[in-house]
Amino acid sequence: MTALSVEDLRVEYHKRRWFRTVSHVAVEAVSFSVEPGRTVGLVGQSGSGKSSIARAVLGLVKPAAGTVTVSGTDTTGRVPATVAATAGKVQAVFQDPTSSLDPRFSIERSVLEPIPGAPSERAAELLDLVGLDRSYLGRRPHQLSGGQRQRVAIARALASTPETIICDEPVSALDVSTQALILQLLRRIQRETGVALLFIGHDLGVMHYISDDLVVLHKGRVEEQGSADDVCLRPRAAYTQALLQASPLPDPALQRERRSRRLHDPAAAAPTVAT
């Protein structure tokens, strides 16, 4: 069964101004599905709507149109019955490792929060799974580094054995050295548990590595959608090509060549420099 499917999603935000309501369409006509054991990546600049999609999937905002189906249950309405049916089936790991854990909770308490009444042994197993020493169980978040906190956040997300985990820029705030470890960890956990991942990010290198399929978003709409290799190595949309050009590669000669090409042909420069 498909772990997560999103069809024709539309998300709007409303702002009250005096006597009228101003609407802003953040996401429009977005569809994709994530199979168990697979990763779908949502990639785009800030303001592309990728986080709005995540929030809609998590039920944190109500879609204006379209459906979100979690483990076979349509959750779009978010009535209490569907909330109960899907509770624990979708979990999330957020970007900011400093705010993702309650500063007053011990690591054990944080990890076990989604599964009340579980024995401490379960917390220890979860730490084993994310490669953290069991001695961390009694510590508090501020005693951990950013990467370690993100591991704890992943352990907590895994506690209720979810079918889908939404990763909203989970490595964007980390050092490159730590980022790769967290990415490897997510891949390994996916191999072992068959969890489906919806991974949100803006770094194409990261997205290419972690994703099976990619959805390239721009201003709330899909620019290109396909297998990660197709999108990154054989991009069709001009927007995707420009994004790829803008991702720096560790090759000074190539980067210099790219820059001189940009200078001579400004049309090939940054896809959109937002104002």
Residues 76-115 touching other proteins, rule: CB under 8 A, are 83-84, 87-88, 90-92, 94, 96, 98-105, 110, 113-115
Report the distance separating Cα 260 and Cα 254, nearest Å: 10
What gap in Å lies between CA 214 and CA 270, rounded to an integer? 20
Interface positions, 41-70, toward other proteins (CB under 8 A): 45-46, 58-60
Q: How far is the CB of 237 from other proteins (least distance, A)?
A: 14
Q: Per CB under 8 A, which region of 3-11, 20-28, 33-41, 178-186 contacts other proteins?
A: 178-186
Nearer to other proteins, 8 or 270 (CB): 270
- 């290198």: which residue's tokens? 205
CB under 8 A: which stretch of 17-25, 31-39, 119-127, 251-259 binds other proteins?
A: 251-259
Per-residue tokens: 235: 């991009």
Judged by CB under 8 A, the number of residues near other proteins is 84
Q: Is 205 in the site for other proteins (CB under 8 A)?
A: yes
Ramachandran class of 130: left when φ > 0, alpha when ψ lies in -120 to 50, beta otherwise: alpha
Give least dist CB 87 to other proteins, A. Answer: 3
Q: Which CB sits closer to other proteins, 8 or 182?
A: 182
The mark string for 126-155 relative to other proteins (x by CB under 8 A, - otherwise) is: -----x-------xxxxx-xxx-----x--
Q: Does the footprint of other proteins cover residue 179 (CB under 8 A)?
A: yes
